[in-house]
Amino acid sequence: MELKDLAGCDLGRRVVDFSADDAILYALAVGASASHLDLVYEQGLRVLPTYGCALGLWAVEAAGELGAYDRTKSLHVGQSLTVHEPLQPEPFETHGCVRSVFDRGTLTVVDIGVSAPSFEAAYTILLPGIGGWGGEPPPPSARPEPLVPSWTAAMDIGPDAATLYRLTGDKHPVHIDPSAATAMGLERPILHGLATMGITARVIAAAVGAHPADLSAARVRFSNPVYPGCELRIAVDAQGNAARTEASVEDVAVMSGTFVF
C-alpha cells in the first residue's frame, strides 16, 4: 500500500479486554500512588480515562503494518480523547480507521482514529523525511495565545519511567532500545508521549478541584522529547472545569493542550 491510498482505510475491529491489575499498572506507570487509593486498589477501583489511549494503540500498529511506512521510524506528535463513560475491566469492541493523511513536503502526518463505547481517541503520527508525494497539505492551524498560569506543579520522571510504561502496551523500540533511539536522532530512549499525557492529566486534576478519573476530554500536542530522569514542570491556566496546559523540561516545551474534567 502507498501513502496516497492510506486515508480512509478501515483498520478493522478488535475486542479489548483488561483486568483490574492492568488498570492499576497503568496508574502506577503515570505516577499514581496510594494517596489516590481508588486508582491503585481493586476495591472501588476507578480507571484513569487516559488508559483508553493505551488500549486503542493497536490501531496505530495496524496502520503501520499496512506497508505504507515504517512504524519504527514514526513519531507520535498529537493525541485527543473524548470520554463517553467510565472504563470498566471487561471486554469491549473497538474500531480503528485512518482518518486523514497530509503531505507537508518534507514529512507526512497520519491521523488514526479509534472508537469504542466508552471513548474515542485520535493519534497524530509524524513520518519524518517522507513527503512530497503529491498529497493534500494539512489545514492551517491558529497559534494559541501565550499561557498565563494560575497553577503550577513539578513531577520527577524516574529513570525507568519508559521501561515501566511500555508494559501498558506500547512496545515501540524508541522507548527502550538505545540503537533505535539514536537512529532517529535522539540522545537515548525517550518517554512515551502518552505517558507524558497521562502523568499531566493525573497531576492537573487538582488545578480544577477534580478527581483524576473525572477527565472527560483532552487534546494535546507533543513538541519535544522527554527523557526519563528529568523534572517535568506543568503550568495550567484553569478556567472552570477546563485546564489549558503546558508541560516543559528545563524551560523547553514538551507538550501543550487542554484537559476538561
Give, for all 261 residues of the chain, the pLDDT tens digit: 888 889 999 999 999 999 999 999 999 999 999 999 999 999 999 999 999 999 999 999 999 899 888 887 888 999 999 999 999 999 999 999 999 999 988 999 999 999 999 999 999 999 988 888 888 888 888 788 889 999 999 999 999 999 999 999 999 899 999 999 999 889 999 999 999 999 999 999 999 999 999 999 999 999 999 999 999 999 999 999 999 999 999 999 999 999 999
Question: Quick one: cell of 84?
Answer: 463517553
Strand partners, 245: 236, 257
Helix (H, G, I), strand (E, B) or coil at 101: strand
pLDDT digits 0-9 by tens, 93-138 = 999 999 999 998 899 999 999 999 999 999 999 998 888 888 888 8
What's the pLDDT at 175?
95
Helix (H, G, I), strand (E, B) or coil at 37: helix
Question: Residue ranges per domain, the chain?
Answer: 3-136+147-260
Q: How far is it, in rounded angstroms, from Cα 251 to Cα 132?
A: 34
| Owner of C-alpha cell 478501515 | 10
Contacts of 83 (CB under 8 A, 6+ apart): 49, 52, 118, 119, 215, 216, 217
Distances 64 to 14, 117, 118, 132 between C-alpha atoms, Å: 16, 24, 25, 19
CATH superfamily of 3-136+147-260: Hotdog Thioesterase (3.10.129.10)
Q: How far is it, in rounded angstroms, from Cα 79 to Cα 144?
A: 17
CB 5 within 8 A of CB 98: no
